[in-house]
Structure 1
Amino acid sequence: MELAALPVEGRSQALRSAPEGLTEAEAARRRLAHGDNELAPPRRSRPLRTLLAQLTHTLALLLWLGARARRPRIADTAFDARRRYMAVTCAEGGATRDFVKGAPEAVVPLTGAPAPAGLDEAVVAAAERGERVLLLALREAGGPLTCLGLACLHDPTRPEVPAAIAACRRAGVRVVILTGDHPATARDDADGARPLLRARSRHPLEFVTMESRPEPLICGYNVHREADRQAMLAALGLTSIAELFSPIPQEVRLGRELRLPAPHSEWALCRHLRELASRNASTRSHLSFLGGGVYEHHIPAVVDSLTSSEELLTAYTPYQPELSQGVLQILFEYQRMLSLLTGLRVVNSSLYDGATAMAEAAWMACAATGRRRVLASSHVWPEWRSVLELYMRGRGVEVAYVAEDPVSGRLDPRSLQESFARPAATFILQTPNSLGILEDLPAAAAVCRQHEALLNVSCYPMMLALLKPPGEVGADIVTCEGQPLGLPLSAGGPSLGVLACAKRLRAFMPGRLVGEVRDIHGQPALALIMERREQQVSREKATSNICSNQAHQAMRAAIYLASLGERGFRELATQCAAKARYLHERLLAIPGVEPAAIGPFFNEFALRLPCPVPVFLERMLERRVFAGLEMDGNLLVAVTEVRARAELDEAAALFAETIGALRQ
């Protein structure tokens, strides 16, 4: 018989006529499964055996409650913050001492040991979390336990704290909050604990400071008691701290206590730190148009989610491939993605940042050509020029700068030709440059080929989504600042250096390469296939003295690019360029504002203002706007995809208003 084809009444009748072997429980389960909720098992008279069993259980429960009521009450409970122990002695277990006046009689570790008899379960649960709450039972002289103190070491709103308070009140125990001996600490502790005790009780709320204790409670960073200090001094054969520091000359000693603010409880300290952080001006509180090599881009949540997993949360070099296939796989994909973007075959697994990558590429060109002269555009970021000069100075390499066309802001090919009057290893060209102008890479590559020099291009990685890869238009080496690829601003670091080169230059490349190999079973695997540092080879054969890499940041970049995909990356770059063009046109409509250069730009542009740029930036900061950077007397403005059109309109209005006020 098909039960599903019957109405409810039919299903009920069918279930009632179930086979003989079907148990009552199974029949009830089937009735509920088929919607026959009105049926219930037939009521039967309970057998005498069941009634006797229930009566026995009831008597056992009453006997257990009576025995529990006769248990000895806690006479003294203390907590040793150094060892995370709860010390318990009972009223019927011998003499006890007041915890305020001395140490407890017995020390019993709660973790891994049976709970002391008579200690309420809620109190035990709170005590076992000693890092969260501190319980102290204080015994009045000559009398039973009448006071249980609870001092909140951390967050007083944790659930075990009110549970412990409730347990104390159920036992008829007065609740006392122990606070610090400093007035400010006592006030903070009282403010933090008072909301927990608003419930009505016949026991009023009390606060007791620890000033009466001859030795303050040891917790937090102050972990040594006077007895501990004396024991350590005795082990050293000394008698005092002064004797310990006697070798230090008096003239270099401070001679006074440190001028530090009053101590705070943890929640008060957190509140204070949040208040201090709120005074900072950041991209979360201000409208930002800052650029200059580091940019505010949206980072998909998946980047933080994946890279924060404990398997990947490391920057350690994967020297052991048998244990590091996951990290090596991500770094390998990073190299492949950056190879596609730069148009060059070889990409190392990362360097420190864009500036050091550019300098390493310059030395790489010197090693490949045997020349000790480097040419660079005068419109490379000033800070990057400093890094380049510092790298080359110690190696005896001359750095000369090539002038740019003052009208277009781009490289002047004739100036580059003149600079090659003396042989040079490479020419470093940054695009976009310090004015935001996109350089003419094919023209620079043609000049470099004439003089058998390498073209070293430092570029903004976001523009590679829309423009031809530098490797396809003549670049031999490409470096990038990888911060825009999924790395937060973080007050300037840590960052990521990208370095790619033609295959013929691989032997001169610094850092490490991840490549495909075969394991002992002939299966494909990944490993570090090239490491030319002085840790792996002799110093004279090393290609670089860089001692580490940015593997974790490279993983972030790989996950960022993978999450966007080719289409999303192109859309992001398009938004950057379109929004920069829109704001550029709005700002040029302001009287007195002119472009600093007329060459093409991507998402960053330079303006000449009719007022001093530092004063203008200060006024805009007062209006909670990072208006840009001063660059050679001009205002450099950067726009990314995170800026909405309403924000661009608001910024344009503030620009016009501030410039108008300064011109008067």
Structure 2
Amino acid sequence: MFIPNTPEDRKEMLAKIGVSSVTELLAQIPQDLLYPVLDLPKALTEPELAAHVRALAAKNKPLKNFIGAGMYEHFIPAAVGALSSRGEFLTAYTPYQAEASQGTLQTIYEFQSCMCALLEMDAATASHYDGATALAEAVLACLRVNGRKEVLISAALHPHYKEVLKTYTRHQPGVKITESPLGADGTLDLTALKEKLSDKTSCFVLPTPNFFGCLERADEVSALVHQAGALLAATVNPLALGVLQTPGAFGADFAVAEGQPLGNAVNFGGPGLGIMTAKKAYMRQLPGRIVGIAKDKNGKRSFVLTLQAREQHIRREKASSNICSNEALCALNAVIYLTLLGPRGLAEAAELNLERAHTLAALAGEVPGFKVKFTAPYFNEFVLECPAPAKTVIKKLEKKGIGAGYALGADFKGMENCLLVCATETKTEEDLKAYADALRGI
């Protein structure tokens, strides 16, 4: 935190504690651990600083972005930012004082209502930090529900989600995380899944679309999981639910999502928006805020924080989670975005994502040496197998002003020549053709 103390302020404080300088104050700390003295140039005026920053920004090389891998570039209506940047929304924080936070509570209530409708689940919390932490919280809830210790996950779960899940469970006694393999088409091998499920399995984590963009046979997976007496925790792309089957429809017990595609910019990878929902039976296992409707002493509608006995400010170390904040502004963006689009608009946006990705896959697959790796249906991204290392393809397309995709080799052994390519509604037919032409020019 920057504290704007004047030289006189610092001199007075140093004299009070009996040292002559900051250097003397820190003398007991080894020199190699101290931050070096910065030789900064003379301070600029505001116009000079603005001009300097603009000059630095002009050096950035814009890329036509075909990178997805969990954060997606979508068109955001101007009304989203215009409304969510109003002062009463932009400065609001976690609403512990419900009577003084009716506006914030109402926006959270609307967010929860939208998420329940979108995912077709019974209960939703106020937002979590991102999709990965929401999934980790869902798995912890499953462990509490049935007391089993084995967590089974898809091999095609987002690699970052895997790492966060490992972090959340590393100090849970006896908890073991195991992966279920994929078939040749890029989706789960259901025979292998059935063999791995047992009476020790607490839950199975199902991503659909999975990290490769492929759509899983969710109904069949759900049946296998529940036959084993385990719980199903699904993670989905919320925009895709404009056209795809919802977690509620295929029987998920907990369903989470990264809400960034709903009216939130990529912003160099954050902040995200964690969506977490559950069946009614598991509502008390949900961490974070739940807002409900009540009446005040005059009989007027009012909003309240409900089921607070789950939370750490009441139950302390026995709480379901120590989460104490929420991504309220990002959640508001999602509410405004969904309200502006409505069910029909969301379906149209999802259809455009489907169409753009399939058009690009067809064009790229026609380029000699390149082919779409998996045969399973996919949403707005797919795996492109290249005749050279994916990192090489990325570097060559960068020179043409194109962000080619996400190199899979670092996260998946044997996929060094594979690119995860994404095309959303922001890409035109010309953009898609330019991508394929750039591949031909390698």
SS where residue 213 of structure 2 aligns?
coil
Query: Does the C-alpha gap of structure 1 residues 249 and 425 become closer, same or farther in structure 2, counting only changes over 3 Å?
Result: closer
1:365 equivalent in alignment to 2:142 = yes
Task: Tell me which residue corresponds to 1:272.
Answer: 52
For residue 621 of structure 1, the aligned residue among 398, 401, 415 is 398
- Paired with 1:224 and 1:444, the residues of 2 have a C-alpha distance of 66
Give the C-alpha shift of residue 241 in structure 1: 2.6
Q: In structure 2, give the amino acid aligned to 1:656.
A: R
User: Does the Cα contact within 8 Å between 2:219 and 2:250 map onto a contact in 1?
Assistant: yes
Residue in 1 that maps onto 2:407: 630
**Matched letter for residue 258 of structure 1:** L
Contact 2:14 2:22 in 1 (8 A): no
Partner residue of 1:403 out of 169, 181, 187: 181
Q: 1:233 to 1:401 in 2, by over 3 A?
A: closer
Counterpart CA distance in 2 for 1:250 and 1:378 is: 47
Q: Over aligned residues, Cα RMSD in angstroms? A: 2.2
Give matches, 1:145-160, under 5 Å.
Answer: none
1:428 to 2:205 alignment: yes
The separation in 1 between residues aligned to 2:33 and 2:277, in whole angstroms, is 53
Q: Could you list the runs of 5+ residues in structure 2 that have no partner in the other structure?
A: none
Are 2:241 and 1:464 aligned?
yes
Corresponding residue SS for 1:435: coil
Determine if the alignment matches structure 1 residue 584 to structure 2 residue 367.
Answer: no
Which digits, 9 at most, give the CA deviation of each residue in 1:248-290, with x for residues without a partner? Answer: 3574587985333454443233222222223334xxx210001
**1:436-484 alpha-carbon deviations (Å, 9 max, x no partner):** 1001100001101211111111001111000121211221111000011
Measured against aligned partners, the alpha-carbon deviations of 1:104-158 in whole angstroms (never above 9, x if no partner) come to xxxxxxxxxxxxxxxxxxxxxxxxxxxxxxxxxxxxxxxxxxxxxxxxxxxxxxx
Aligned residues: 431
The match for 1:644 among 420, 424, 428 is 428
Indicate if the aligned counterparts of 2:199 and 2:229 stay in contact, CA closer than 8 A: no
**1:435 touches 1:596 (CA, 8 Å); kept in 2?**
no
Larger RCO: 1 or 2 (CA < 8 Å, sep 6+)? 2
In the alignment, what sits opposite 1:567? 344
**Residue matched to 1:607:** 384
Q: 1:234 to 1:585 in 2, by over 3 A?
A: closer
Aligned match for 1:355, one of 132, 135, 153 = 132
Q: Is the 8 A contact 1:423 1:451 kept in 2?
A: no
Match for residue 536 of structure 1 among 298, 301, 314: 314
List per-residue Cα deviations over 1:380-402 (Å, max 9, x = no partner): 01111111111111112111110
Query: How far, CA to CA, are the matches of 2:30 and 2:247 in structure 1?
Result: 63
2:202 is aligned with 1:413: no
Tell whether the 8 Å contact from 2:80 to 2:333 is kept in structure 1 after alignment: yes
Which is further off, 648-657 or 452-461? 648-657
- Alpha-carbon spacing, 1:497–1:262, altered in 2? closer, same or farther (3 Å): same
Aligned to 2:276, the other structure's residue is in SS state strand
For 1:654, the equivalent position in structure 2 comes to 438
For 1:639, the aligned partner's letter is A
Distance 2:241 2:192 in 1: 27
Percent identity (aligned): 37
Counterpart CA distance in 2 for 1:256 and 1:596 is 51
Structure 2: how far apart are the matches of 1:509 and 1:361? 8
Give the Å deviation of 1:224.
3.0
* Distance in 1 (alpha carbons) for counterparts of 2:26 and 2:328: 47
CA distance in 2, matches of 1:250, 1:321: 49
Extract unaligned runs of 5+ from structure 1: 1-220, 659-664
Give the match's secondary structure for 2:224: helix
1:222/1:374 CA distance change after superposition, 3 Å: closer
Distance 2:199 2:379 in 1: 33
Verify the 8 A CA contact 2:198 2:228 in the aligned structure 1. Answer: no
TM alignment of 1:195-594, pairs within 5 A: 223-224=6-7, 235-236=16-17, 240-241=20-21, 244-245=24-25, 247-249=27-29, 251-252=31-32, 258-261=38-41, 263-281=43-61, 285-314=62-91, 316-396=93-173, 397-405=175-183, 407-531=184-308, 532-540=310-318, 542-594=319-371
Deviations, residues 303-335 of structure 1 (Å, cap 9, x unaligned): 111111111113511122222222211211111
Which amino acid counterpart does residue 74 of structure 2 have in structure 1?
Answer: H
Shift of 1:375: 0.5
Structure 1 pair 243/373, CA: closer, same or farther in 2 (3 Å)?
closer
C-alpha contact (below 8 Å) 1:315/1:549 kept by paired residues: no
Residues 316, 551 of structure 1: 8 Å contact kept:
yes
Distance verdict in 2 for CA 1:260–1:380, change over 3 Å = same
C-alpha distance 640-223 of structure 1, shift in aligned 2 (>3 A): same
CA distance in 1, matches of 2:7, 2:33: 23
Correspondence for 1:191: none
Distance 1:612 1:422 in 2: 42
CA distance in 1, matches of 2:356, 2:347: 14
- Structure with max Cα Rg: 1
State the alpha-carbon separation in 1 of the partners of residues 126 and 50 from structure 2: 39
C-alpha distance in 2 between matches for 1:242 and 1:474: 62
For 1:224, the aligned partner's letter is P
